[in-house]
């Protein structure tokens, strides 16, 4: 339950604080007073703290909360530049791509128990060894043909025609 609160409360706080200035209309932060910058700065600070706590304690909830807060900041600052939508999408996509590549390169080696690679990836030799073990443990005796357990045609009473005579 606490993990759910860690994830939902920062997003609810952003929605509450941004709803005062209307979520549908983008704020012009280039000409806005410094007090207007509280709305995007607070979720960004929380995201940094949540990611640090999530990586240090190796828990998922703060990491998810940090990612959601970064998404809230990105939504709030969507009109920061005067560029067209396509240019902004391409630019921020490239920024996210380079950030994810840098993070993946950083986490190639395990850092405090967090790594970008699976911890135990089975090799092909383990599969061959398990198949060889199962082949050795199976019995190699040949069994004869199984005798049929049912012989028809022997019913005389109440057989419903089992003898073939009605």
Better-predicted residue by pLDDT, 157 or 47:
47
On the question of pLDDT at 164 being above 60, the answer is no
Helical packing angle, 60-76 and 2-19, nearest 10°? 10
Question: How confident is the model over 84-124, as pLDDT tens digits?
Answer: 888 888 887 888 888 888 878 887 777 666 666 665 655 55
Q: What is the longest distance spanned by two Cα atoms in the chain?
A: 104
Better-predicted residue by pLDDT, 75 or 23:
75
Q: Distances in Å between the alpha carbon of 108 and those of 104, 113, 114, 117?
A: 6, 11, 9, 7
């Amino acid at each position: 339950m606490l993990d759910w609160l860690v994830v939902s409360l920062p997003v609810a706080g952003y929605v509450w604080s941004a709803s005062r200035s209307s979520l549908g209309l983008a704020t012009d932060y280039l000409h806005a007073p410094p007090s207007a910058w509280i709305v995007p700065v607070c979720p960004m600070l929380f995201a940094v703290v949540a990611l640090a706590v999530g990586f240090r304690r190796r828990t998922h909830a703060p990491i998810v909360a940090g990612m959601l807060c970064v998404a809230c900041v990105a939504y709030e600052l969507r009109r920061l530049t005067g560029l067209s939508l396509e240019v902004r999408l391409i630019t921020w996509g490239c920024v996210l791509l380079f950030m994810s590549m840098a993070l993946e390169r950083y986490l190639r080696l395990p850092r405090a128990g967090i790594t970008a690679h699976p911890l135990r990836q089975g090799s092909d030799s383990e599969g061959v060894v398990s198949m060889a073990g199962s082949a050795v443990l199976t019995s190699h005796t040949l069994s004869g043909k199984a005798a049929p357990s049912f012989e028809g045609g022997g019913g005389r009473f109440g057989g419903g025609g089992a003898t073939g005579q009605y």
